[in-house]
Chain A
Amino acid sequence: MRKTTRILVYLAVGFGFVLAWLPAGRSLLFGSDPTDIDMNDSLQTEDIITDDAWRTPIPDLGYREREGRALFRHYCALCHGQSGEGDGFNAYNLDPKPRDLSDHEFQTAQTDEDLAEVIGGGGGDAGLSNAMPPWGKVLGERKIGYVIAYLRTLADSLPETD
C-alpha cells in the first residue's frame, strides 16, 4: 500500500507540472493570470511594452472628440464660440443668444439624443430660435455623433443616467 501512495504522489506531482505548463492552469494554481489585463484603458495595453520613463505625448482627446472638435470649430464656433460659451463673433447680432454649451447643468440635463435632434433638425423645429440651423443634411448621423462627443468635453459632463 505504501508503494501505491508513493506512486499516486508521483502522478499528482506530474499532473501538477502539466497544469503549471498550461498558461490557463497557471492562473488556476497561482491565482493571478499574467495575461489578465484590464482593457478598459488603451494605455494599459501599452504598459506592457513601454515603461513610464519616456512617452510620446498623448492627445487630450480621443478620435471621436478630435473629429468633433474640428467640426465644431468649423461649423459651430462662429456662433457658439471656441469654448462653447455662446460668445462666437457671429453671436453679436443674435437674439436670443446662442446656448452656452459649456454649462454643466444644461449638458447633464440633455441626453445625446436630445442634442442630436437639435443639431440635426435645427432650432426652429425644436421650438427654439430659427437662427440655429439644421445640420442633419450636411453632417449626417455619424458626424453629429462626433460633435456631441466633443460637446461633452466642453462641459466635462455626461448625461445623467437614471
Chain B
Amino acid sequence: MRNDGGGLDRIWFWFAAMSFVFLVVLAISPIKDYFREYRKYQIDYRDQLLERAGTSRELRDANREGVRIRQIWNPDYPNRVDRCTSCHLGVENPGMADASPPLRTHPMTPHTPEQFASFGCVTCHRGQGRATTMMDAHGLASDWATPMLPLRYTEASCGTCHMDEEVPEANLLSRGRTLMAELGCYACHEVDGHEAWESDAPDLDGLSRKTSPEWLRTWIADPQSVRPTTKMPYIQLGQSEIDSLVAFLWTRPAGEDDFLQDEENPAGDPDRGETLFRESRCISCHTVDGRGNGSAAELSGIASKVNRRWLIEYLENPHALQPETKMPRYYFTRQDLLDLSQYLMDELWDPEAPPPVEQAFRPPQKMVEGGMRTFRKYGCSGCHQISGLTDRSRIGPELTGIGRKPVDQLDFGRRDDLPRTLHDWIGAKVSSPRSFRDGLKMPQFILEGEDLTAVITALLSNTGEVIPEEYRVERVIANYDPPGRFGELVDRYRCLSCHEVEGVGGDISTAPLTVEGSRVQESWLKNYLLRPSTIRPILTDRMIPLRMPEEDAAFLANFMQNVYVDDDIPARLFSEEPDPANVRRGSHLFYERYGCQACHMIDGRGGYFGPLLDEAGVRLKPGWVYWWVLGSQRWRDDVRCPDYGVPDRDALDLAAFISSLGRTP
C-alpha cells in the first residue's frame, strides 16, 4: 500500500513537473511577442498621438492604432516588403515633426510623402525591409549584404533609378557624377551607360614641336604642382618611368626640337598684344592666375611650356593642331598673331619652371620602347590620343554594380584600419588608391571634403540593379548636328563650346540658341556677331569677338532667324506701334509693381545682374518679351528672372515698354 502510494506519488509528481515545463515552453511565444521591439514604439506612438490629438477625429484615429506589424508592399518589385513603418510610425504624419526618432516625420523630399506607398523605405535607405528588429532591419547583422546607407550617402539611391548626370534635387549625387566624368574615371573603368565618354585631354602628337623635354618631365612628375587646376591626376611614377615616357612622347613624331630656334617670327608689340588679349576676351574660357571662366586651360606659365612658333601656329588655326579642341578659330592677321604671342611669351611665364636646355634631345631607342610600355601600363591612352596607339582599352576593373558589392567581396589589403563597410572602402580607394597593395596603378586624385563624399555617393549609386521599367528615368543623350554651311561655320567658330543648341553644347553662355530666331532681331544679331556689345556687364565670360567676315555674320544671323524659332513665341506681337499710354503703363509696372529695376539697368539706374535693357528695343522682339514675362523658366528652367504670375495685360504693356527702349521713334 505504502509502496503503491509512493509510486503514484512519483507519477503525479512527474505529471505536474512536465505540465509545468510545457507551460513554460508554451509561454515562450507570447512572451517573445510581448517583448517585441516595435511594441514599445507602437504604444509610445499611440500615447503621443493621444496627447497631441486636437479634434475628435484625431482622437478616434489615435485610438485605432493597435500593436501590429505595419508594412509597405510594392508589387512592382519582386519580393519586397518593407516593415520599417512598424517602428518608424510617424513618417507620414506631419504632426510628428518634433517627435524623436523613430516616431519622427520623414523630411519632405521629392518623393515623400506622396510616394511612400510605391517606393517603400529600402529603395532609398537599403537595409532589410522584412526584418522587425532594429539590428536586422538596419542590415547590421553580418549576413546581410546591403546594410542601411548612412544618411549622408542616401542620395546614391536617387541614382539607382535616375540615370542622368544631373539629378534634380540631388546635389551631391549630381556633383559626384559630374566629377567622375570630369576627372576621367571612365577612361580606365568601364561603367554601364558611359561607354561613349570622351576625354577632352589634348592629343599628344607633336609635343616635340610644342614644348621642351624639361617642362614635360616636371609636368608628368606631378601635374598638379605645375597647375593646381588641372584635371590630370598625380600618377606617382618613378624617375625612370618619367624619363622613358618623355622619351616616348618626344618621338611622336620624332623631335624637331623647335624649342631651340625661332627665326621666321620677328618680335611683336606686346602692348598691342595685351589690348588684343583683352579685347578677344580670352578669359571668357581661359583663366590667368585663376581669374576667368576656367573651362579652358590656365594661361599663366604658358610661356614656359610652349615655344612661340607653336603658339603662333596654334592661334592661327587651333584645329589643325588639336582637332578636338573647343577653341574657336579667330580671324587674326599676321601682325595680330605676332603681337599677341609676344605679349603671352613676355608676360605669362612661370618663374618656377625648369631652365631651358640649349641642346637637342635625342633619346635612345630602348628608352622610347620602355616609354611606350609605361604609357600602356598606366592607361594614358584612356585620355590622350597619340598616333600608333589605337587600342584604348580600359585598364581598371569594371565599376558597374560597385555600389552594392557585399563587403566580404572587397579586398581590404593592407588597410586594416578601415571599418569593414562598403562606403569606407570606396572612400579609401578613391582618396588614396595605392594604399591597399603594392603594384596598383590608379593615380592619385585630389578629392577632399564634400567632393569626396560626392564621388562616393556617385559610386554607391551604381548598383547595377534591375529597376522596374516604370521607375527608371533614363539618361537623355542629346544628339544634334547643325546642318550644312551653318554647321561648318558653327564648327569653325566652335559656337557649341559655349552655347547650347537642342540640348547639345556647352553652358558657358547663359543663352541657348535653340530659339534665338524668336528672341532677337536679325539686324541686331548680325551686328552682335561682328562686334559683340556688353549685355551682362557683371559676367567675365562674355561673348567673344571672333573677327568674322561680314558675310559669315550675315549668314549665321539669317539662318538662326529662320530656323531657330519656336512657334509658341509670337513672331509679331504688335501689328502697329504700341500706344504711348501702354508704354507708360508698362514703365509704371516695370518700376513700381514688379521692381524689375532690381536686376535690370536702364540709363545707368538699377541693378546689374540681369541684361542691360538700354537697347532692348532694337535687340529683342516684342513677342519674346511678352512670352518671357509670362514665364521665363520655359526657356531654361534655371533662369533667375522670377515668375511673378504676370497677368496677360501687364505682359503686353511690359512688352510695349521694353520694346520702346533704345529706339528713336
Contact = CB atoms under 8 A, between A and B. Distances in A.
Chain A directly contacts chain B within the complex, with at least one CB pair under 8 Å: yes
Contacts of A62: 151-152
B402 interface: no
In the complex, which of the residues A25, A60, A67, A129 has the most CB atoms of chain B within 10 Å of its own CB atom? A67
Contacts of A46: 150
Contacts of B645: 134, 137
Contact of B598 (A3, A37, A133): A133
Interface string A1-44: 00100010001001100110011110110000001010110110
A93 B419 contact: no
Nearest to A123: B595
Contact of B644 (A18, A37, A51, A133): A133
Contacts of A57: 448-450, 452-453
A39 B101 contact: yes
Contacts of B100: 39-40
Given A24-B37, A70-B171, A14 B609 contact: no
Interface in A93-142: 93-94, 122-124, 129-135, 137-138, 142
A35 B35 contact: no
Interface in B599-613: 599, 601, 605-609
Contacts of A54: 417-419, 424, 428
A70 to B, nearest CB: 5
Nearest to A8: B20
Contacts of A40: 100-101
Interface in A57-92: 57-60, 62-64, 66-67, 70, 74-75, 78-79, 89-92
Contacts of B601: 93
A93 B593 contact: no
A122 B644 CA distance: 9
Given A28-B35, A93-B607, A133-B644, A42 B151 contact: yes
Contacts of A14: 21, 24
Contacts of B20: 11
Given A54-B417, A56-B423, A56-B427, A63 B31 contact: no
A50 interface: yes
Determine the main DSSP class of A at the interface with B: helix
Contacts of A11: 17, 20-21, 24
Contacts of B448: 57
A92 B607 contact: yes
Nearest to B88: A39
A22 B134 contact: no
Nearest to A69: B171
Interface residues of B, number: 71
Contact of B633 (A15, A45, A64, A138): A138
B609 A25 contact: no
Nearest to A53: B417
B640 A35 contact: no
A28 B20 CA distance: 22
B98 to A, nearest CB: 9
Contacts of B102: 39
A141 B108 CA distance: 10
Interface string B364-384: 000000000000000000000
Contacts of B35: 22-25, 27-28
Contacts of A42: 150-152
Nearest to B640: A75
B28 interface: yes
Contact count band on A:
35 or more
B630 to A, nearest CB: 11
Given A11-B20, A59-B453, A78 B609 contact: yes
B32 A22 contact: yes
A90 B24 contact: no
Given A63-B155, A131-B595, A89 B538 contact: yes
A145 B107 CA distance: 10
B419 A79 contact: no
A22 B29 CA distance: 10
A40 B450 CA distance: 23
Contacts of B154: 63
Interface string B98-112: 001110000111100
A27 B619 CA distance: 77
B28 A58 contact: no
Contacts of B431: 56
Contacts of B599: 78, 90
A15 B52 CA distance: 41
Given A37-B134, A70-B171, A48 B419 contact: no
Contact of B134 (A35, A43, A55, A91): A35
B77 interface: no
A142 B94 CA distance: 14
Contacts of A70: 171
Nearest to A137: B643
B637 to A, nearest CB: 9
A152 to B, nearest CB: 14
Nearest to A11: B20
B86 to A, nearest CB: 14
Contacts of B449: 57, 59
Contacts of B36: 24
B140 interface: yes
6 contacts: A19-B31, A28-B35, A49-B420, A54-B428, A58-B453, A142-B110
For the complex of A and B, the 9 pairs showing the least CB-CB separation, nearest first, are A24-B35, A56-B427, A130-B595, A131-B598, A50-B419, A39-B101, A133-B642, A137-B643, A42-B151
Interface of B: 13, 17, 20-21, 24, 28, 31-32, 34-37, 100-102, 107-110, 133-135, 138, 140, 147-148, 150-152, 154-155, 169, 171-172, 417-421, 423-424, 427-428, 431, 448-450, 452-453, 456, 538, 592-595, 597-599, 601, 605-609, 633, 638, 640, 642-645
Given A54-B424, A57-B448, A58-B453, 5 more contacts: A11-B20, A39-B100, A42-B151, A124-B595, A131-B598
